Chains A and B, each alone.
Chain A
């Protein structure tokens, strides 16, 4: 098939970061972007978690030092960010699974319902993290 455009111009309109472009995007597309970013974030956290667990090999002193650090307000705030990422990724995964195979037609209603569920769970988690 003959194309009107030259090969160099064709490729220039499909940058690998095109999905990140927020211009003109609506809420559900922004959720899609956040879903991808939170997925990457969760993978990074998994490796960080393994590194932290490796402190156990250094004995009780090294672990106790980490626990003291982990109870600082900044780290607790990061815990809340982590929980927000997990909730976003998990709940959006449920939405994608249900809507994505045609089981749920009312996509907007499910979106709003899961948004409310996520907000409630995040509020509970935040209280528990800072109240512990």
Chain B
């Protein structure tokens, strides 16, 4: 479906948008000619214009329009971005390909189901508890605490992760990075429980260091680096547990008649 933008005097860009009907079934592509009146015209501006003027069935999710809510994360020309702060200007002079995030289930068109991200986050990091805001000194021994609080929970890192692309069971970058945040600043959360999740079969050891999550993160929360530090902490925990068990066994042997 190609429909000419009505504002013929304005510069026009072409969007190729991946569509998936709410009812399920196969996907298709729609092509929209949209005006780009300003260098600051964003992908989200163009999509909302297309929805308003060309196709009201085009599903796009957004809220804040300024990179605070993370609801408009999608892929533009293959890369994960927040549509609300990604200008059309600067993109190559060819049709702009707009697709939903990968590794997440599509509700319809550009809207993905983030429930899996929220579930994984809940497993390691329950809603904020302020009972204890003291960072865990033992786990922060390798440097200053760096909090994972900039995360928008937008799902861009999940979309970029090659492991999450084929295995829905993988805890994923946001939950694992959040586990590191819990380890650094528990605030009443159960650190051992979070580390147990991160140390599990679907946890931090499944990361293969592609570092795509950090590259895709729109707010530079650096989830991959958090996962690497988390793995270091998990390794130290394993070594300490083993040494403790060995010392315990030696003590039992000493006191036994």
Contacts and interface: CB of A to CB of B under 8 A. Distances in A.
Interface in A103-132: 103, 105, 107
Which size class do B's interface residues fall under?
Answer: 35 or more
Contact of A102 (B168, B212, B229): B229
Nearest to A92: B209
Interface stretch (B45-53, B157-165, B181-189, B191-199): B157-165
Interface in B195-211: 207-211
Interface of B: 24, 75, 77-80, 102-107, 113, 115-116, 119, 142, 160, 162-163, 165-168, 207-212, 215, 225, 228-229, 231-233, 235
Interface in A81-103: 95-96, 99-103
A95 B209 contact: yes
Interface of A: 1-6, 8-11, 13-19, 21, 23-26, 28-29, 31-33, 35, 95-96, 99-103, 105, 107
Contact of A10 (B105, B162, B211): B105
Contacts of B163: 19
Contact of A24 (B75, B168, B208, B235): B75
Contact of A4 (B113, B166, B228): B113
B208 A15 contact: no
Contacts of A101: 228, 231-232, 235
A106 to B, nearest CB: 11
A125 B96 CA distance: 44
Contact of A13 (B104, B212, B228, B231): B104
Nearest to B104: A13
Which of A6, A23, A96 has the most CB atoms of chain B within a 10 A radius of its CB?
A23
A34 to B, nearest CB: 11
A99 B227 CA distance: 10
Please give me the 5 A-B residue pairs with the lowest Cβ-Cβ distance, nearest first: A102-B232, A24-B78, A18-B166, A18-B165, A29-B210
Given A5-B105, A5-B106, A101-B228, A14 B166 contact: yes
Contacts of B119: 1
A38 B104 CA distance: 28
Given A19-B166, A21-B165, A25-B162, A100 B212 contact: no
